[in-house]
C-alpha cells in the first residue's frame, strides 16, 4: 500500500515514547509501501529534527533515506504550475509548500492515503486524483 508522508509523523517517531510514534510505526510496518516523501518534506523533517530532537534523530532519518526506506519524489517544472493553481484555489488555507507538494505528488503516484497529523488542510482540499484523502492514522 502506497503512503505519502508529511513531516510531522516522522518527527513524532524521533520519540519512541510518543503515542503518535507508535501509530506511525504500526502504519509503516503493516503497509508494504512505497513510502513517498514529496521533495520539500525531507528538508522540513531535517529542520524539525534539528530544532526538536537533536543530531542522533537526524542521523537516523538520514540513514533511512540512504537505505531507501522512503522514496523521495522531486517536484518538476510542471508541478510548479500546479502549486500556483492550488495556491489560488485554496488561498484561505495558507498552505505551505510541503502541503501543496503532498497534494501534487499524491496525484502523480495515484495515492489518496496521506500520513499526517495536520488534518484540517487535507480535509478541505479535493485531491487531484480520487475523491477524498484518507488521513492516517486518524482514518484507520
Domain span including residue 129: 3-136
Percent of residues, the chain, with pLDDT higher than 70: 100
How many C-beta neighbours within 10 Å does residue 83 have? 16
**Number of domains comprising the chain:** 1
CATH number at residue 95: 3.40.50.1010
Which pLDDT band, with edges at 50, 70 and 90, does 15 fall under?
confident
CA 123 to chain centre: 15
Average pLDDT over residues 82-91: 96
Q: What's residue 122's pLDDT?
A: 98
pTM: 0.95
Which pLDDT band, with edges at 50, 70 and 90, does 17 fall under?
confident
Which helix (H) or strand (E) segment holds residue 135: the answer is: strand 134-136
Average pLDDT over residues 90-110: 97
> Among 117, 116, 112, which residue's Cα sits nearest to residue 129?
112
Amino acid at each position: 500500500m502506497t503512503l505519502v508522508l508529511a513531516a510531522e509523523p516522522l518527527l513524532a517517531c524521533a520519540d519512541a515514547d510518543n503515542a503518535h510514534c507508535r501509530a506511525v510505526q504500526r502504519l509503516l510496518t503493516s503497509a508494504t509501501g512505497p513510502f513517498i516523501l514529496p521533495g520539500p518534506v525531507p528538508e522540513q523533517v531535517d529542520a524539525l529534527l534539528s530544532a526538536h530532537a537533536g543530531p542522533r534523530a537526524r542521523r537516523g532519518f538520514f540513514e533511512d533515506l540512504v537505505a531507501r526506506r522512503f522514496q523521495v519524489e522531486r517536484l518538476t517544472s510542471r508541478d510548479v504550475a500546479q502549486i500556483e493553481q492550488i495556491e489560488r484555489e485554496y488561498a484561505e488555507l495558507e498552505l505551505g509548500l510541503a502541503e501543496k507538494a503532498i497534494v501534487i505528488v499524491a496525484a502523480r503516484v495515484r495515492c489518496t492515503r496521506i500520513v499526517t497529523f495536520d488534518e484540517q488542510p487535507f480535509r478541505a482540499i479535493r485531491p487531484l486524483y480520487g475523491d477524498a484523502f484518507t488521513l492516517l492514522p486518524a482514518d484507520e
